[in-house]
Amino acid sequence: MRIQRKNIISQLAAGIFIVVGALFLHSCDEGSAIKPDPDGKQPYIVPDSLLKTLTIDTVRQGELINSLQMTGMVDFNQDKQVNIFPLVSGNIREIKVQLGDYVNAGQVLATVRSSEMAGYTNNLIQAQTNVNATKKQLDATTDLFQSGLASNLDVTNAQVNYDQAVAQLEMVKRILRINGDDTTGRFVVKTPIPGFIVQKQVTNDQAIRPDNGNALFTISDLKDVWVWGNVYEANLDKIHLGDYVDVTTLSYPGRVFKGRVDKIMHVLDPTSKVMKVRVVIDNPDYTLRPQMYATITATNTDHKQAIYVPLSALVFDNSRYYVLVYHGGGKADITPVDRMSTLGDKVYLTDGVKPGDAIIASNTLAIYDQLNN
């Protein structure tokens, strides 16, 4: 009986020891657990499975490069563009080119049947006849003067008439030469420069006049083109003559065309309130075509230092920018920052973080939402 009682007491003691030990371990676990925030929210810890996929970057410091993005449009290089106007009236015949054709210097574009050209030919014949007549009169008067039958004044008058006839012939020849030097009543339209037919405003049998304000053809050499950019009033101090620019188009989204600002208009458009800047770009393969829409990104530096982070590290919410500063062990904080400018995948900041701070640079929006909630 006494032995049985001792066994019961031993079993009770062992049970009490186990319960006390369990309570002690439980209290230790509670003490080592992450304490909740005063408002009752449990701090978010980035899981190890997600942490392995994250990109952890650092805040860096470097030279501040200002960037300005503008909308623009490709245009002809007007210094290498020729508008061909009609020099005579008449009817267009034999148009030999079409819009978009490439032509060489001196190539015939069309011919014009012209009464004016016929008149120039007639003037040439009359001037040549007059030269022959006055020459014979001068020779005859000279012979009479040598025979004593004409005075020196008669010879002088005959010489003046001949010189005037020669001058008139030269003038008629120059006029005819300016108008193509054709004596068959045709005016031949030729291009003075090589390039593309970028405008064509005539058709066969169309009547034309010299006082018509429209060009027959417009020829442009597209080996280099202009791109006009629009700078808004708030950004006037961010663009300078000689700034390097990158130009992209909708047609070639993966291709960047390099250029430089070579002209600033310094006058705001009264309607759109933008200032025009001109960029000249080499176009040897004729990729860029007039009237293409373009995006122009101009860059310049004031040789100042600034901190920057990757664009992927930035979160915009509630009209503010934030980054996620990583402290290790899955812990991160939401930190507000002030954005200065963006250049490619770099975002320059004024404050909020310091060089060397570790930041999360991927899946930022999802982690931001978890930290916020």
Which residues is 333 bridged to in the sheet?
A: 325
Name the amino acid, one letter, at 373: N
Angle at CA 72, nearest 5°, toward 70 and 76? 145
Whether residues 297 and 308 share a domain: the answer is no
pLDDT value of residue 361: 93
Answer for the pair 178, 87: CB distance below 8 angstroms, yes or no.
yes
Answer for the pair 120, 177: CB distance below 8 angstroms, yes or no.
no
Whether residues 103 and 199 share a domain: the answer is yes
Q: Looking at 302, 326, 350, which one is the last position of a domain?
A: 302
Whether residues 243 and 208 share a domain: the answer is no
pLDDT value of residue 38: 54
Whether residues 177 and 92 share a domain: the answer is yes
Over 60: is that where the pLDDT of 29 sits? no
Tens-digit pLDDT profile for residues 190-201: 899 899 998 898
Over 70: is that where the pLDDT of 134 sits? yes
Give the whole-number percent of the chain exceeding pLDDT 70: 89
Tens-digit pLDDT profile for residues 355-369: 999 999 999 999 999
What residues make up the domain containing 128? 81-219
Tens-digit pLDDT profile for residues 84-107: 988 888 888 889 999 889 999 989
Whether residues 215 and 85 share a domain: the answer is yes
20 assigned to some structural domain: no
315 assigned to some structural domain: yes
pLDDT value of residue 275: 94
Whether residues 120 and 200 share a domain: the answer is yes
Whether residues 296 and 267 share a domain: the answer is yes
pLDDT value of residue 10: 54
Residue 317: give its domain's CATH number. Answer: 2.40.420.20
Average pLDDT over residues 298-310: 84
For residue 341, give both structure tokens.
Answer: 């400018």
Q: Band the pLDDT of 213: cuts 50, 70, 90.
A: confident
Which of 318, 309, 306, 252 has its CA nearest to residue 281?
A: 252
Q: pTM, whole model, 2 decimals?
A: 0.57
Residue appearing with tokens 């020829």: 219
13 assigned to some structural domain: no
129 assigned to some structural domain: yes
Average pLDDT over residues 54-77: 89
For residue 137, give both structure tokens.
Answer: 């009169």
Buried b (16+ CB within 10 A) or exposed e, 316-353: eeeeebbbbbbeeeeebeeeebeeebebeebbbbeebb
Whether residues 118 and 203 share a domain: the answer is yes
Strand, coil or helix: 6: helix
242 assigned to some structural domain: yes
Answer for the pair 107, 191: CB distance below 8 angstroms, yes or no.
yes
Q: Looking at 302, 325, 355, which one is the last position of a domain?
A: 302
Which residues is 280 bridged to in the sheet?
A: 226, 260
Q: Looking at 271, 302, 333, which one is the last position of a domain?
A: 302
Considering Cα of 104, then 107, then 112, then 118, what sign does the dihedral take? positive
Whole-number Å distance between alpha carbons of 176 and 190:
15
Which of 117, 119, 125 has its CA nearest to residue 86?
A: 117
Whether residues 210 and 244 share a domain: the answer is no
Over 70: is that where the pLDDT of 21 sits? no
Tens-digit pLDDT profile for residues 144-194: 888 888 888 988 999 999 999 999 999 988 988 887 777 777 888 889 989
Whether residues 185 and 89 share a domain: the answer is yes
23, burial (CB in 10 Å: exposed 0-12, middle 13-18, buried 19+): exposed
Answer for the pair 260, 278: CB distance below 8 angstroms, yes or no.
no
291 assigned to some structural domain: yes
38 assigned to some structural domain: no
Please count the structural domains in the chain. Answer: 3
Tens-digit pLDDT profile for residues 255-283: 999 999 999 998 898 888 899 999 999 98
Name the amino acid, one letter, at 132: N
Whether residues 315 and 200 share a domain: the answer is no
Least confident of 248-257, 311-320, 338-347: 338-347
**Is beta strand 315-317 parallel, antiparallel or unpaired with respect to 358-360?**
unpaired
Residue 198: give its domain's CATH number. Answer: 2.40.50.100
Answer for the pair 361, 55: CB distance below 8 angstroms, yes or no.
yes
Residue 283: give its domain's CATH number. Answer: 2.40.30.170
35 assigned to some structural domain: no
Name the amino acid, one letter, at 254: G
Whether residues 136 and 212 share a domain: the answer is yes
Q: Cα separations (Å) of 200 from 76, 95, 169, 203, 208?
A: 15, 10, 36, 9, 14
Answer for the pair 190, 182: CB distance below 8 angstroms, yes or no.
no
